[in-house]
Amino acid sequence: MSATTSLALPTSRTSTEHWDGVVRYDSSEGNVSKHVFTTGNAVAESVLYRYPTFADRTVICCSTQSGCPVGCRFCGAGDAFVRNLTTAEIVDQPFHLLEDIVASEVASDSIGSLQIMFMSMGEPLLNLKALTPAIRELNERYPGARLLVSTSGPRVDYEPFHQLSEQIDTVGLQFSVHESTDEARDTLVPFKAKLTLAQMAQTGEQWAQLIGRRPFFNYCVHDRNDTDADVARLRDLFDPAIWEATLSVICERDETMTVAHARQRSLTEGFMTKMLTAGYSTRMFDPAGQDDVGGGCGQLHYVQKWFDDHPKFARRSAGSGLPIVHAPEG
Ligand code: SF4
């Protein structure tokens, strides 16, 4: 952790049925809080957003693994993997946030738009055995919630996930694409057993044909992947008639770099214009609370500290020791 850290101080400490401790950090901007769940041998993070109130729109990003073996070079969980979370440990994260925090303002069945995203920490499809019953349970508890699985595209059997998506019509799929060539993506996502971009496109199209819903791809924009040629390559791979695009404003994993946020947002807005022109239905994801609680997936600062404090549980991931990608220049 940097000596110049500006991270928030805890605002509360509690526990849940399946986690020994939950420490809450509130962002000074007011609409986002981070929740760090710990047991003796694992850590997880969830992020809770309101837009602008919980009653209007509530979004939860929760973890499926403690640490992550994929090792993405922009991600704060990218250096170490601890273990898969159990079904109960996954369900307990949104359950705690909805029942112990959101419920004081609005009942979960009265929320205008509720989305639970499996994207905070861990690769969901590498823990599908625990995630599948977690999704079933969450769908039973919160039938109106959209349940989005955001994946880096590991080379696994997608059939069980397709079946789950057929059975539960609130399940969504998003691929974390982030680059327009496999070469650039290999640098960013060092995990070897993953789909190529073409294979991701094919898998998403199969899902769309079978399920009848549109998949998303997520693209983190930086100043080396925002050209017209990038848009053309994406368009060749991901048919705008099938795919929707989420453009994410990059969250730097080093909290001292958050000053670059305005520049990253401006880059993303510029790229969004190009994607709209290319025919994509596009939305921007700009994680609130970056400056102090690290609202985005790349900023798992509290988890990094847990890794440092528990070296015997944190095994090196595929990305450990490789250069961090996307750090702003200058
Ligand atoms: S971005 Fe997601 S898949 Fe990549 S290392 Fe982080 S948690 Fe794992």
Confidence of residue 242 (pLDDT cuts 50, 70, 90): very high
- State the distance from the centre of ligand 1 to the C-alpha of 65, rounded, in angstroms: 10
Domain assignment of residue 88, yes or no = yes
Give the per-residue pLDDT at 148: 97
- State the distance from the centre of ligand 1 to the C-alpha of 241, rounded, in angstroms: 28
Nearest alpha carbon, ligand 1 atom 6: 75
The span from the CA of 127 to the CA of 64, in Å, is: 7
Tokens coding 32: 């986002």
> Strand runs (DSSP E) across the chain, as ranges?
10-14, 21-26, 32-39, 42-50, 57-62, 65-67, 80-84, 113-118, 146-151, 171-176, 216-221, 244-249, 281-285, 315-316
Give the per-residue pLDDT at 249: 84
Sign of CA dihedral 301, 35, 290, 185: positive
- CATH code for the domain in which residue 188 is found: 3.20.20.70
Q: Structurally, how many domains does the chain consist of? A: 1
Ligand 1 atom nearest 75 alpha carbon: 6
- State the distance from the centre of ligand 1 to the C-alpha of 122, rounded, in angstroms: 6
* Radius of gyration from C-alpha coordinates of the chain: 18
Nearest to 46 by CA among 33, 35, 31: 35
Domain assignment of residue 325, yes or no = no
Segment 98-113 shows an average pLDDT of 96
Give the per-residue pLDDT at 330: 25
Nearest to 150 by CA among 208, 63, 75: 63
Site to probe by mutation for ligand 1, drawn from 68, 148, 200 as the one with most ligand atoms within 8 Å of Cβ, is 68
Higher-confidence residue of 250 and 89: namely: 89
Place of tokens 């986002």: 32
Give the per-residue pLDDT at 79: 80
Domain range holding 123? 10-316
Site to probe by mutation for ligand 1, drawn from 45, 119, 123, 188 as the one with most ligand atoms within 8 Å of Cβ, is 123
Mean pLDDT check: name the lowest of 37-51, 56-70, 91-105, 286-300.
286-300
The span from the CA of 299 to the CA of 121, in Å, is: 10
Domain assignment of residue 182, yes or no = yes
Tokens coding 179: 């680059």
The span from the CA of 43 to the CA of 307, in Å, is: 9
Place of tokens 């850590």: 43
Higher-confidence residue of 328 and 68: namely: 68
Domain assignment of residue 322, yes or no = no
Between strands 171-176 and 216-221, the pairing is parallel
Domain assignment of residue 95, yes or no = yes
Q: What are the pLDDT digits (tens) for 152-211?
A: 999 999 999 999 999 999 999 999 999 999 999 999 898 999 999 999 999 999 999 999
Q: What's the Cα-to-Cα distance from 160 to each of 131, 156, 242, rounded to whole Å?
A: 11, 10, 21
Ligand 1 atom nearest 78 alpha carbon: 5
- Whether 22 shows a pLDDT value over 50: the answer reads yes
Q: What are phi and psi of 4, to 5 degrees?
A: -95, 15
- Whether 108 shows a pLDDT value over 80: the answer reads yes
- Whether 326 shows a pLDDT value over 70: the answer reads no
Give the per-residue pLDDT at 255: 47
Site to probe by mutation for ligand 1, drawn from 73, 118, 121, 192 as the one with most ligand atoms within 8 Å of Cβ, is 121
Domain assignment of residue 82, yes or no = yes
Domain assignment of residue 228, yes or no = yes
pTM exceeds 0.85: yes
Packing angle of the helix pair 261-277, 228-237 (nearest 10 deg)? 60
Give the per-residue pLDDT at 292: 58
Q: Is the CB of residue 62 below 6 angstroms from any atom belonging to ligand 1?
A: no
Confidence of residue 30 (pLDDT cuts 50, 70, 90): confident
Domain assignment of residue 130, yes or no = yes
Mean pLDDT check: name the lowest of 19-33, 45-59, 224-238, 276-290.
276-290
